[in-house]
Chain A
């Protein structure tokens, strides 16, 4: 199907993401690679029908921009300005980088409230649109996230789907070492939500999860790999921050081209 993200496109997007980060000497690449597949599918396949997609983990702006590029909303010339002077595409997405992003994000713990409010607004306006939120796993350490979850479940927002990029790593170590809620899903099960666990790098599983509807808010636990696709980055905390040098860039691209 023309509107479906293919494996080939996902690979091309991964390569373009790495090139964009290399060209701009920008880090945060590990978490971009872990959430890229999800954003590719949501942006290309689910953003119609007035649906809202809110990227709560704004530090994965690069993956969002690449997903918008893949959906032909941003151009190569836009990506070339990423993180530079006079750009529309800074390190965390501002709302005015394109007219299809409703909310600029960057500070963690905002997205789930925004997505829940959007979902309830849809219901109040008798709209059939759907609200999607893409979060990090470390973000569940923010108290506001739990306020939003209480709200979403109280209002039985069955038009809300929450994708959690569960890559187990955050800014200064693993989520388990820093402020463990492991297993997070057991805590979340105490709320009146439905939970699905998927492979966050399997396009079909992501697509099926985004289509899934229940009578409650739906939370998708995406098991992902930080730095996915580049072996020396995979599951390495330092790639939350590090920019690529020329040697590492060539290694990464060569590996993806194999």
Chain B
């Protein structure tokens, strides 16, 4: 998604009120942007706290400011700067984290960001945007730029099958259809299930993806109908359980829809493991791999 991100930002890089900050990251991806933006592409160095406060100051001066790092670095150390300087002032700073979830796999737990959107969405006026497919990046950036307050864009790796037709971007989209359970997923981890879920002829799920947080308003009517019909809901996210979408959605289901379907939450189970490996290895340890999800689906119907 980094390439799509860079390409999209390049499309408005001639805007003299647009500045891009990086915390010394983006090698082998952001060079075209740096070349086009010249002095408005600012590498602040290894100083995330400073970068986020600088972003707030830029936004206060009506500069459209994007602050980029890898996902774990862009928000965790600088949380107070994001809270006090950006969020409390409702400044439209665009924070971008590459490699959300277990994206930096075997780089180790310091490089994972599995509490990012939950944490940021606790802050006033914050919206998080999580593309599922490469094709989502451009329309999401358009949406994100319309938001008047601070935003977080979590990038990852799209693993959709070849020739998969990506539905037009919407905040909520149904991705697969069938007679199985209802599934809600978020982010590019969704693309790792497409092939196997589609092959489930008898219990192919009605799988939805959501891409904009927090989830505070109405859920799609069709989704509610499917939850009622199946009475089985699985929520999948590469994020810890606390603060994740499952908590937001289940609260809405209870408060607003008086629904309590049979419920399974598949989430990132741990920061610290006894052994480490790739993103897919860590997903498997969290039982987020497609094979385990198939088991969960089948168990729901036993």
Contacts and interface: CB of A to CB of B under 8 A. Distances in A.
Interface of A: 94-95, 102-107, 109-110, 113-118, 120-122, 124-125, 143-144, 147-148, 150-151, 154
A122 B61 contact: yes
Give me the 4 closest cross-chain CB pairs, A-B, nearest first: A117-B57, A113-B53, A117-B54, A147-B47
Contacts, number: 84
A113 B54 contact: yes
B85 A110 contact: yes
B173 interface: no
Contacts of A147: 45, 47, 49-50
B252 interface: no
A110 B57 contact: no
Given A120-B54, A121-B58, A113 B40 contact: no
B47 A150 contact: yes
Contact of B44 (A115, A118, A124, A151): A151
Given A144-B53, A147-B47, A147-B50, A104 B84 contact: yes
B145 interface: no
Given A113-B57, A122-B61, A95 B88 contact: yes
B98 interface: no
A124 B63 contact: yes
Nearest to B54: A117
A114 B49 CA distance: 11
Interface of B: 19, 39-40, 42, 44-45, 47, 49-50, 53-58, 60-61, 63, 80-81, 84-85, 88-89
A169 B44 CA distance: 32
A250 B205 CA distance: 77
Chain A interface secondary structure, helix, strand, loop or mixed? helix
A150 B45 contact: yes
A113 B50 contact: yes
Chain B interface secondary structure, helix, strand, loop or mixed? helix
Nearest to B45: A150
Contacts of B19: 124
B56 A107 contact: no
Contacts of B54: 113-114, 116-117, 120, 151
Contacts of B39: 124
B56 A103 contact: yes
B80 A104 contact: no
Contact of B53 (A102, A117, A150): A117
B61 A125 contact: yes
Nearest to A94: B88
A151 B57 contact: no
Contact of A114 (B44, B57, B88): B57
Given A147-B50, A148-B53, A124 B89 contact: no
B53 A121 contact: no
B47 A151 contact: yes
A118 B47 contact: no
Nearest to B44: A151
A113 B89 contact: no
A109 B55 CA distance: 15
Given A103-B89, A107-B80, A118 B49 contact: no
Given A103-B89, A107-B80, A117 B56 contact: yes
Given A104-B84, A104-B88, A150-B45, A114 B40 contact: no
A120 B65 CA distance: 13
A116 B52 CA distance: 12
A206 to B, nearest CB: 24
A151 B50 contact: yes
Contacts of B58: 117, 120-121
Nearest to A120: B54
A96 B137 CA distance: 35
A118 B60 contact: yes
A143 B81 CA distance: 13
A122 to B, nearest CB: 7
Contacts of A125: 61, 63
Given A144-B49, A147-B47, 7 more contacts: A103-B89, A104-B84, A113-B50, A113-B81, A118-B57, A121-B57, A151-B54
Residue of B44, B55, B80 ringed by the most chain A CB atoms within 10 A:
B44
11 contacts: A103-B60, A103-B85, A110-B84, A113-B49, A113-B54, A113-B57, A116-B57, A124-B63, A125-B61, A150-B45, A154-B45
B90 to A, nearest CB: 9
Contacts of A115: 57
Contacts of B80: 107, 110
A83 to B, nearest CB: 19
Contacts of A95: 88-89
B21 to A, nearest CB: 9
A110 B89 CA distance: 14
